[in-house]
Amino acid sequence: MKILKSILLFLTIISCSTPSNKKANDFSALIDLDGNAFNLDDLEGNVLILNIWATWCKPCIAEFESLEEVKKKFNDINVKIIAVSNEDLKLINSFLNKRKFDLNFIKLNGDLSYFNAYSLPTTIIFDKSGNEAFRLTGGVDFNTKNFIDKILNIEKL
């Protein structure tokens, strides 16, 4: 039994840290906050920072400030930041109406396993071709030299 637990833990760690073969444009269950279809294909040619969050997740909400700061640094290059939640559309809109975040928010019509995400917050970075470059789990300060340099290097490709 101990060996089985070790194997399962190893597989969990590998699956969470290894980029999937999914492309950003494979996701079709997305809508904007008005309920209209949202197509990630429209963002092709941009590096996409896809931040998965929830209204009840304090580390998720704490990340928004650093996402807003780093967004300013990417204004003149092909980088887009999208925050996605799978909660009820009314709940998301109510939450955002009480706060003023300068980010693009969308809704996922499905569970988070759709993105192979099993904890919040999770951020997935896609290259300009829509391939997953890497992902981060847990609360992150995006406004760091290390993160910014990684995004800039992907954007140059």
Q: For the chain (length 157 residues), average pLDDT per consecutive 10?
A: 36 40 59 93 94 98 96 95 97 96 95 92 97 96 97 94
pLDDT at residue 125, as a whole number: 98
Question: Whole-angstrom Cα distance, residue 23 to residue 25?
Answer: 5
Question: Whole-angstrom Cα distance, residue 101 to residue 67?
Answer: 10
pLDDT at residue 10, as a whole number: 34
pLDDT at residue 156, as a whole number: 92
Q: Which fold has domain 21-156?
A: Glutaredoxin (3.40.30)
Question: Is 106:33 a contact under the CB 8 Å cutoff?
Answer: yes
* 121 three-class SS: coil
| Range list of H helices, 81-144 | 89-97
Distances (CA, A) of 63 to 90, 113, 134: 22, 21, 18
pLDDT at residue 114, as a whole number: 87
Cis preceding linkage at 121, omega within 30: yes
